[in-house]
């Protein structure tokens, strides 16, 4: 089993290092890790945020553990050279269309949620976000209008095959959970969303045992804060999923807690915390590594066929939190290394 480690920028290397320590502590046989640069770090080393060798390693690997990309010093580069293009490029190149972002509250963290404890208590939602289409990948650019004004544009589009494919992931995910799927769109305004809603409804015919509902994205954001416990599985497009998953993370305690899996059609995956590179705290040793540690857990479960080891990681994180572990984002003062130490001790 080959794992590609792509630490990236900002706090990415700090948190990835700790997740690899936890993997190591599991003592799994036959697991090798190879590392490659990505994002701003790769740009500085070789002039491109996603070097060929890095993409090669990602292709060769059985799974990819990814830190974060994003670097304010790169914000003035042409768009195709910016760090963010590396993660978008790897998702596209590897066909990682299905992004699973679970937001559930560790009971020990009820007081860390941005919501009142009695509201936060019930949050256990899986956001299934489409990851290789939408306004992220449509025709985009800058142009000048007839009136001489600068105009930016980004085309939003989905074809029906793209929608049906992620809808199936949504239905199958819901079926393995509580059997409730909420599809989120903006069909009252967007044609893309009208097709989304029609196709999701058509696919529903194959999943009689899943209860399907639809919400507009603005309402979904409101409902997630008002009563997150009503949601089981959410399926949505790339842009809405990006926004709703950050929102859900704060309902579930902290953005420093949420892992994700990005899967291709055969279950090969890239695993990353949903947070970014957090340049404001990079290099200070205080980033919360739990999202990346939990991402390594998802990697064991979804790509490496090691469900038992994944269970062990999740249980150890729970025990470490129960034992009082709190990094700064959770209102405590544990360092990145101490947080990983606590998880390893709990293993
Ligand atoms: C995420 C991030 C990325 C995204 C950025 C870094 C391109 O916000 O994974 O949620 O928008 O998909
Ligand atoms: Mg995001």
CB atoms within 10 A of CB 106: 19
If asked whether residues 58 and 16 sit together in one domain, one would say yes
If asked whether residues 121 and 245 sit together in one domain, one would say yes
Residue showing tokens 């055969």: 266
If asked whether residues 118 and 247 sit together in one domain, one would say yes
Instruction: Report how far ligand 1's centroid is from the alpha carbon of 242 (Å).
Output: 7
If asked whether residues 148 and 210 sit together in one domain, one would say yes
Q: Is 268 a catalytic residue?
A: no
As to burial, measured by CB atoms within 10 angstroms (0-12 exposed, 13-18 middle, 19+ buried), residue 75 is exposed
If asked whether residues 88 and 118 sit together in one domain, one would say no
For the Cβ of 23 lying below 6 angstroms from any atom of ligand 1, the answer is no
Say if 257 falls within a structural domain: no
Query: Of 263, 271, 337, 291, which Cα lies nearest the Cα of 4?
Result: 271
Catalytic residue chosen out of the listed positions 9, 71, 186, 329: 186
Q: What is the CATH number of the domain that holds 36?
A: 3.40.718.10
Residue showing tokens 């947080």: 339
> Which of 201, 220, 251 is the last residue in one of the domains?
251
Indicate which residue's Cα is closest to atom 5 of ligand 1: 84
Say if 256 falls within a structural domain: no
If asked whether residues 179 and 277 sit together in one domain, one would say no
Q: pLDDT tens, 267-312?
A: 999 999 999 999 999 999 999 999 999 999 999 999 999 999 999 9
pTM: 0.95
Instruction: Report how far ligand 2's centroid is from the alpha carbon of 257 (Å).
Output: 14
Residue showing tokens 């560790």: 106
Note whether 51 and 37 are within 8 A (CB).
yes
If asked whether residues 9 and 82 sit together in one domain, one would say yes
Indicate which residue's Cα is closest to atom 12 of ligand 1: 242
**Dihedral angle over CA of 346, 321, 259, 113, nearest 10:** 170
Say if 16 falls within a structural domain: yes
> Which of 251, 281, 316 is the last residue in one of the domains?
251
Say if 263 falls within a structural domain: no
Mutation probe of ligand 1 site: the residue of 38, 83, 242 with most atoms within 8 A of C-beta: 242
Q: What is the pLDDT of residue 110?
A: 85
Phi-psi region of 316 (alpha: psi -120 to 50; beta: other; left: phi over 0): alpha
If asked whether residues 206 and 303 sit together in one domain, one would say no
If asked whether residues 187 and 313 sit together in one domain, one would say no
Catalytic residue chosen out of the listed positions 178, 246, 264, 341: 246
Q: What is the number of the ligand 1 atom nearest to the C-alpha of 68?
A: 6
Say if 107 falls within a structural domain: no
Q: Is 73 a catalytic residue?
A: no
Q: What is the number of the ligand 1 atom nearest to the C-alpha of 242?
A: 10
Say if 343 falls within a structural domain: yes
Regions of the chain with pLDDT less than 50: none
From the CA of 259, the nearest ligand is: 1
Q: Is 56 a catalytic residue?
A: no
* Structural domain span for residue 87: 1-96+268-347
Query: Of 12, 119, 118, 127, which Cα lies nearest the Cα of 65?
Result: 12
If asked whether residues 26 and 54 sit together in one domain, one would say yes
Query: Of 6, 81, 72, which Cα lies nearest the Cα of 48?
Result: 81
Q: Is 24 a catalytic residue?
A: no
Note whether 132 and 96 are within 8 A (CB).
yes
Q: What is the pLDDT of residue 141?
A: 95
If asked whether residues 125 and 245 sit together in one domain, one would say yes
For the Cβ of 87 lying below 6 angstroms from any atom of ligand 1, the answer is yes
Say if 103 falls within a structural domain: no
Q: What is the pLDDT of residue 211?
A: 98
Q: pLDDT tens, 60-117?
A: 999 999 999 999 999 999 999 999 999 999 999 999 999 999 999 988 888 888 899 8
Instruction: Report how far ligand 1's centroid is from the alpha carbon of 116 (Å).
Output: 28
Helix (H, G, I), strand (E, B) or coil at 140: strand
If asked whether residues 218 and 294 sit together in one domain, one would say no
Catalytic residue chosen out of the listed positions 75, 198, 218, 311: 218
> Which of 220, 251, 282 is the last residue in one of the domains?
251
Q: What's the total number of domains in the chain?
A: 2
CB atoms within 10 A of CB 227: 13
Say if 128 falls within a structural domain: yes
């Amino acid at each position: 089993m080959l794992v590609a480690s792509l630490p990236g920028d900002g706090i990415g290397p700090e948190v990835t290092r700790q997740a690899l320590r936890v993997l190591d502590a599991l003592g799994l046989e036959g697991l090798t890790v190879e590392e490659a640069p990505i994002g701003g770090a790769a740009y500085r080393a070789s002039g491109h945020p996603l070097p060929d060798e890095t993409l090669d390693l990602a292709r060769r690997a059985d799974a990819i553990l990814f830190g974060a990309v994003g670097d304010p010093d790169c914000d003035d580069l042409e768009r195709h050279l910016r760090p963010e293009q590396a993660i978008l490029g790897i998702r596209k190149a590897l066909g990682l269309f299905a992004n699973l972002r679970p937001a559930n509250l560790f009971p020990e963290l009820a007081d860390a949620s941005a919501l009142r404890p009695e509201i936060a208590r019930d949050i256990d939602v899986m956001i299934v976000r489409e990851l290789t289409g939408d306004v992220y990948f449509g025709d985009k650019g800058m142009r000048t209008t007839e009136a001489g004004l600068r105009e930016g544009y980004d085309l939003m589009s989905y074809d029906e095959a793209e929608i049906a494919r992620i809808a199936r992931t949504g239905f199958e995910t819901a079926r393995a959970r509580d059997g409730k799927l909420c599809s989120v769109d903006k069909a009252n305004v967007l044609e893309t969303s009208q097709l989304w809603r029609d196709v999701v409804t058509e696919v529903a015919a194959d999943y009689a045992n899943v209860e399907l509902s639809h919400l507009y994205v603005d309402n979904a954001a409101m409902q997630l804060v008002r009563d997150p416990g009503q949601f089981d599985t959410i399926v949505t497009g790339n842009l809405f999923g990006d926004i709703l998953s950050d929102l859900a993370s704060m309902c579930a305690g902290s953005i420093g807690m949420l892992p994700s899996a990005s899967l291709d059609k055969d279950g090969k995956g890239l695993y990353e915390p949903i947070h970014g590179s957090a340049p404001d705290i990079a290099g200070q040793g205080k980033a919360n590594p739990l999202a990346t540690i939990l991402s390594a857990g998802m990697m064991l479960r979804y790509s490496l066929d090691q469900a038992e080891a994944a269970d062990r990681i999740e249980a150890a994180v729970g025990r470490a939190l129960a034992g009082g572990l709190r990094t700064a984002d959770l209102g405590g003062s544990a360092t990145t290394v101490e947080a990983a130490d606590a998880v390893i001790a709990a293993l």
